[in-house]
Amino acid sequence: MEKSGNNINIYFIEPSARSSEGKDIPWKDFDKNSPIATIIPQNNGEIELDWLGFTVNGDLAMDYAIYGKKTLEGVYKKK
């Protein structure tokens, strides 16, 4: 993670060794220097997650961008 103004950029480093899911995903091809998501703090204590997607050689990996938009993006609040 890296702070950028009030936001926090999230970067891919490597997949979790604990999970057996995603074995067919080309993890080694994804860029590690482009953010995959941005956390945007809201004034009411919530955070918004903007899924940017994985990139390969600077280009958006479309097959994985749509999945993240549908399943990860949104507003989260602490309970």
Gap between the Cα atoms of 7 and 15, Å rounded? 23
Q: Is the pLDDT reported for residue 4 higher than 80? A: yes
Task: Encode pLDDT of 10-44 as tens digits.
Answer: 999 988 766 666 677 889 999 999 999 999 999 88
The answer for residues whose C-beta is within 8 angstroms of residue 6's C-beta and 6 or more apart is 40, 41
pTM greater than 0.85 (yes/no): no
- Rounded mean pLDDT, 53-76: 82
C-alpha–C-alpha distance, residues 79 and 53, integer Å: 27
Give domain limits for the chain: 2-13+28-76
